[in-house]
Amino acid sequence: MKRLWIILLVLSAIAGILAGCTGDEEAPASLTAAEVGERILQAADLPGMKPGDQEKLQKLYHIEPSIVEDFILYTASSNVKAEELAVIQVKDASEVDHVLEKVQERIQAQSVKFKDYRPEEYYLLDKHILKAKGRFVLFALSKEAGQMERAFDDALK
């Protein structure tokens, strides 16, 4: 019971922190998540990662399909790897905070899973990129997360 309270407290704190993570800048209206994702794929190498579909997005992040306009998702081909890339474009900018919370919950769950089991994968989790710009959310969990973030930023200038 005590552990549950600690987890709830941590999640509450994270939600508060994430409330400040959304940018006021609007992304170009004509871009889609697929186009942003294509630019990221040109900038970073994703060996051993496979594309995911709507079902996988909902399974991993518990994000309602009705709020998502477009997305790309790549996950590790093995469940002993933590690598993930997601670019999610929501229909309404007011849903960005909700998506950030859901992704943060995924990060927490993966952190618990990998912390003692696979320390090298936990390190990637610790160095993840989670950010929003306009109606787009980027989650990059990879050794090349920095390149992914730069490509995301450049695409949404």
Going by the DSSP 8-state scheme, the letter that residue 97 receives in this structure is H
Examine the pLDDT at 47 and tell me if it is beyond 60. yes
Q: Which of left, alpha, beta for 124 (phi over 0: left; psi -120 to 50: alpha)?
A: alpha
Q: What is the average pLDDT across 27-36?
A: 81
Examine the pLDDT at 28 and tell me if it is beyond 80. no
Q: What is the average pLDDT across 33-42?
A: 94
Of 86 and 19, more confident: 86
What pLDDT score was predicted for residue 45? 86
The tally of domains found in the chain comes to 1
What pLDDT score was predicted for residue 74? 96
Q: What is the average pLDDT across 46-56?
A: 92
List, in sequence order, every residue forming a beta bridge with 76; answer none if it has no partner: 49
Query: 51 is in which domain, residue-wise?
Result: 2-155
Angle at 17 between CA 100 and CA 7, to 5 degrees: 80
Examine the pLDDT at 84 and tell me if it is beyond 60. yes
**Cα 57 to chain center, whole Å?**
10
